[in-house]
Amino acid sequence: MKVKVWGCRGSLPAPGPENISYGGNTSCLEIRDGDTLLVLDAGSGIQRLGRFLDKKVKVIHILLTHLHIDHTMGLGFFAPLYNPDVEVHLYGPSSSSESLLNRIRKYFSAPLFPVRLADLPNHPVIHELDQSEFEIGPFRIKSEFICHPGPTLGYRIQHGANVLAYMPDHELQLGSANFPLDPEWTSGFEIAVKADLLFHDGAYSFSQYEQKVGWGHSAVRDTIQFAQLCQVKKLSIFHHEPTNTDEQLDEILRRNVEGKTFGFEIEMCKEGSVYEF
Ligand SMILES: [Zn+2]
Ligand SMILES: [Zn+2]
C-alpha cells in the first residue's frame, strides 16, 4: 500500500511562509492499492487530492473520524463529488442523537454551503460505523470510539502483514484514569497496538496542553508515551496546532526526544509525505 499525507494541520488551515515545511491543510490521508482508494478524513487537504487524483479511480471510500469542521471542510470542494461516474462511499461515526446522513447534510446547507447534499450530481452512499470490522478491497478495517468531544473513531487498517493506525483527534490524558500504565484501559490501545505506522494527535507542547485540558487533543509527550505503550514501529505526530510554526514544531520534537532512546521512529508529520509498504 501507498500512503500520502494531503493535510496534517489541526483545527484550522494554517497557510503561510512560517508553515511551509509541515504544511497548512487540515487532516486528509490517501491510502492506495491499485484502484482501491481510501481517504481518511475530508479536511482542507482533500481539495488537492481531488485535483490530482488518478482518473482511473472510479470508486472512492472516504472514512471520517468525526464531524468536526476541520475534518469535513474539504468535502464540498472534492471534485469527484461533482462527477456522477464516480461512486463515493462516506463512512463516519454513529451517534445516539442524530443519523450520520443528517449530520453531513448540516454541512451541505445554508448558511454554511451553497450546494445541498441532495443536489450533488454524485449521491454518496452513507455508512454508519461504531465498533466495526469490515473489508474494502485488500484492506481490513477496524473502527473504535476514542476519547474526543462528540462521537469520534480511530481506524486500524491492515493490508497484508502491515498495519496503519489513524487517530488524528484523541485526548490521551482523559482517555484513561491511569494513563499510561494500563494498556487495556487506555483509549485507542486496540487500534494502535503493534502498528507499523501510527498517525496520532500531538497538537501541543506540554505547556500548551495545560491551558487546553478537555479540548480533545494531546501533548507530544503523551503521544510518545502512548506509541511506546502500543509498541508501534513508527510514530507520525499529527494535527499540529495552527499557531505552531515550522520552527516551533521542530523545537517541540527536539525537547521531547533529545537525549532519550526509543525503540521506534518518531517524526512530526509533514504534508506531502509518502510512505510505501
Ligand atoms: Zn481535528
Ligand atoms: Zn475534533
What is the secondary structure of 232-275 as a DSSP string? -SEEEEE-B-TT--HHHHHHHHHHHHTT---SSEEEE--TT-EE
CA 42 – ligand 1 centroid, Å: 11
pTM higher than the cut 0.85? yes
Residue 157: what pLDDT? 98
CA 269 – ligand 2 centroid, Å: 17
| Ligand whose nearest atom lies closest to the CA of 73 | 1
Listed by start position, the domains of the chain span 2-276
d(CA 38, CA 31): 5
Is residue 29 very low, low, confident or very high in pLDDT (cuts 50, 70, 90)?
very high
The per-residue pLDDT for range 58-115, each reduced to its tens digit, is 999 999 999 999 999 999 999 999 999 999 999 999 999 999 999 999 999 999 999 9
Share of the chain above pLDDT 90, in %: 94
d(CA 44, CA 71): 8
| Ligand whose nearest atom lies closest to the CA of 150 | 2
CA 67 – ligand 1 centroid, Å: 9
| Ligand whose nearest atom lies closest to the CA of 240 | 1
Q: Residue 203: pLDDT above 90?
A: yes
CA 55 – ligand 2 centroid, Å: 31
Over its C-alpha atoms, the chain yields an Rg (Å, rounded) of 18
Is residue 54 very low, low, confident or very high in pLDDT (cuts 50, 70, 90)?
confident
Nearest of 170, 226, 234, 239 to residue 197 by alpha carbon: 234
CATH superfamily of the domain spanning 2-276: Ribonuclease Z/Hydroxyacylglutathione hydrolase-like (3.60.15.10)
Q: Which residue, chain included where needed, has cell 493490508? A: 159
Does a cis peptide bond (omega within 30 degrees of 0) precede residue 124? no
CA 70 – ligand 1 centroid, Å: 5
CA 161 – ligand 1 centroid, Å: 29
The per-residue pLDDT for range 153-198, each reduced to its tens digit, is 999 999 999 999 999 999 999 988 788 888 888 999 999 999 999 9
d(CA 3, CA 26): 16
